[in-house]
């Protein structure tokens, strides 16, 4: 199929329209149609597909891909890693009182606060709705709670202007879990453990951080099965 094929031209125009709607600009010094220009179109589209449109954070698909790689890295290297789940407290009240546009402003403000509190190597993603997730590679257990508390305090200090003369303050509840070192775990198990700690933070009054203590983590039966290469069928024999 030649480069002048009408279908190719249509697909390219659709891609450029998508980038324009997303406010993405291509390099001004690249000649349209050149290899460098086309590569920038592809690269920008790939980045766009991995980002949450409201906050600019990594989206859930990008998070899941990054988490899977981190699970493998921890199993091979034994380095500690932490996953934090952060949920905006009483978010429904913001929407009900001030409207969904105000809710969007609060979400964007919290997203910026989370991004401000982490290292360039960390991944902050919007998990869905008013929930966020942070992957912190090489984060020692001794520093985990300090990181979570710094994030919680920074969000609490933010003032969000949602309308003329109307300010809103948001807080977040945070749950965290460390990856079991030298163990072949799974992304789902890791997130579920962090989610249990998030539930504990909510039930204990919100606007707090609860982390699973790395020293007391028990390897689950599923993780043992992945570690030793056994299956439920083999275990029952």
156 classed as catalytic? no
| Chain center to CA of 15 | 26
CA angle at 177 for the pair 176 and 180, rounded to the nearest 5°: 165
Task: Check if the beta carbon of residue 138 is closer than 8 Å to that of residue 81.
Answer: yes
Catalytic residue among 70, 130, 131, 212: 130
Torsion angles phi and psi, residue 210, rounded to 5? -125, 125
Return d(Cα 165, Cα 167) in angstroms, integer. Answer: 7
Contacts 24+ apart (CB under 8 A), 101-108: 101/162, 102/160, 102/162, 102/163, 102/166, 102/168, 103/130, 104/54, 105/160, 105/161, 105/162, 105/168, 106/160, 106/162, 106/168, 106/170, 107/54, 107/55, 108/54, 108/55
Catalytic residues: 130
């Amino acid at each position: 199929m030649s480069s002048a094929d009408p279908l190719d031209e249509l697909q390219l125009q659709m891609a450029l329209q998508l980038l324009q709607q997303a406010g993405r600009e291509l390099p001004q010094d690249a000649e349209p149609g050149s290899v460098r220009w086309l590569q920038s179109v592809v690269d920008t589209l790939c980045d766009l597909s991995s980002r949450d449109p409201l906050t600019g954070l990594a989206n859930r698909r990008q998070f899941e891909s990054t988490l899977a790689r981190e699970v493998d890295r921890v199993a091979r290297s034994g380095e500690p890693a932490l996953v934090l789940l952060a949920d905006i407290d009483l978010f429904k009240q913001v929407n009900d009182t001030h409207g969904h546009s105000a809710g969007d402003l609060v979400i964007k403000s919290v997203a910026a606060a989370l991004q401000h509190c982490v290292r360039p190597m960390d991944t902050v993603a919007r998990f869905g709705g008013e929930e966020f997730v942070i992957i912190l590679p090489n984060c020692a257990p001794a520093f985990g709670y300090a990181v979570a508390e710094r994030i919680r305090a920074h969000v609490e200090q933010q003032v969000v202007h949602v309308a003329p003369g109307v300010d809103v303050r948001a807080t977040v509840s945070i749950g965290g879990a460390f990856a079991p070192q030298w163990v072949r775990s799974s992304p789902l198990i890791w997130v579920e453990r962090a989610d249990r700690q998030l539930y504990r933070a909510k039930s204990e009054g919100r606007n707090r951080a609860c982390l699973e203590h790395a020293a007391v983590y028990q390897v689950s039966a599923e993780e043992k099965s992945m570690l030793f290469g056994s299956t439920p069928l083999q275990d029952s024999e």
